């Protein structure tokens, strides 16, 4: 009887020791550092962070919340070494609060320091951009427009060249047929001008 009780107590002690070790490992995982918001747009943003060297991190978890609103968006990804995440479907001119956590095999780290940011209005962004500022997207669009215009010009020139070639061919055919037409006309006119002779003898007048 005492042997069974002793075995149960040993198993219980081992289980408690495993829970304690897991808790210690999870607690020893440091919270992400230098949480920063980049590429801030009216409807999107990118959050980046750093971790302490040596932390056995296998993923991350992000909580996103509108300021003064209890609803949360939770983003989690494991089996990754990335240190950034895109935030999407944001609302313009709205304040958000973001926390980041590291994930290890033992659990999650404490929350990072909260980061507060505000999404801009599209009108404000357009007004803040100088007239001489040209983005890569605009350069690409201009290049596409120029390529399209060149294609249209080339197609029109080819069509015109085809029309001119067809006209020249028809003109040569007409010019080659003109001597034959002139000969036919001359032959026809000569036949019309030849006087007809009567086949009978001369008529004699009565005295």
Per-residue pLDDT, 28: 78
Confidence at residue 76, expressed as pLDDT on a 0 to 100 scale: 95
Q: What is the model's pLDDT at position 187?
A: 60
Taking phi over 0 as left and psi of -120 to 50 as alpha, with beta for the rest, 44 belongs to beta
Q: What's the pLDDT score for residue 205?
A: 47
Nearest Cα neighbor of 63 from 109, 119, 122 is 109
What are the CA-CA distances from residue 131 to residues 2, 12, 146 (Å)?
87, 72, 21
Q: Which CATH superfamily is domain 33-123 in?
A: Immunoglobulins (2.60.40.10)
77, 59 contact by CB (below 8 A): yes
User: Could you tell me which of 44, 75, 47 has the C-alpha nearest to residue 60?
Assistant: 75
SS3 (DSSP) at 164 = helix
Q: How distant, in Å, are the alpha carbons of 20, 60, 95, 182 from that of 69?
A: 36, 23, 10, 98
Does this model's pTM top 0.85? no
Per-residue pLDDT, 166: 87
Average pLDDT of adjacent 10-residue blocks, the chain of 207 residues? 51 46 58 95 95 93 91 93 94 95 94 95 67 60 80 90 87 75 61 53 48
CA 190 to chain centroid: 80
CA angle 168, 171, 174 (to 5 degrees): 155
Predicted pLDDT of residue 138: 66
What is residue 20's predicted lDDT score, i.e. its pLDDT?
46
| 117 DSSP β-pair partners | 96
């Amino acid at each position: 009887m005492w042997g069974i009780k002793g075995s149960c107590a040993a198993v219980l002690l081992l289980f408690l020791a495993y829970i304690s070790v897991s808790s210690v490992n999870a607690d020893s995982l440091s919270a992400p550092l230098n949480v920063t918001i980049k590429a801030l747009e009216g409807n999107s943003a990118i959050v980046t962070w750093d971790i302490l060297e040596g932390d056995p991190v296998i993923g991350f978890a992000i909580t996103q919340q509108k300021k003064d609103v209890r609803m949360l968006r939770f983003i989690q990804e494991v089996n990754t070494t990335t240190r950034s995440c895109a935030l999407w479907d944001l609302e313009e001119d709205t304040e958000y609060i973001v926390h980041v956590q590291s994930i290890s095999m033992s659990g999650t780290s404490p929350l990072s320091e909260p980061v507060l940011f505000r999404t801009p209005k599209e009108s404000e962004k357009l007004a803040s951009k100088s007239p001489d500022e040209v983005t890569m997207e605009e350069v690409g669009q201009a290049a596409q427009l120029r390529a399209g215009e060149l294609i249209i010009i080339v197609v029109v020139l080819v069509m015109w060249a085809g029309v001119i070639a067809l006209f020249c061919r028809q003109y040569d055919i007409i010019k080659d047929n003109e001597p034959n037409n002139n000969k036919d006309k001359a032959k026809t006119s000569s036949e019309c001008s030849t006087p007809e002779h009567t086949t009978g003898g001369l008529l004699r007048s009565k005295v």
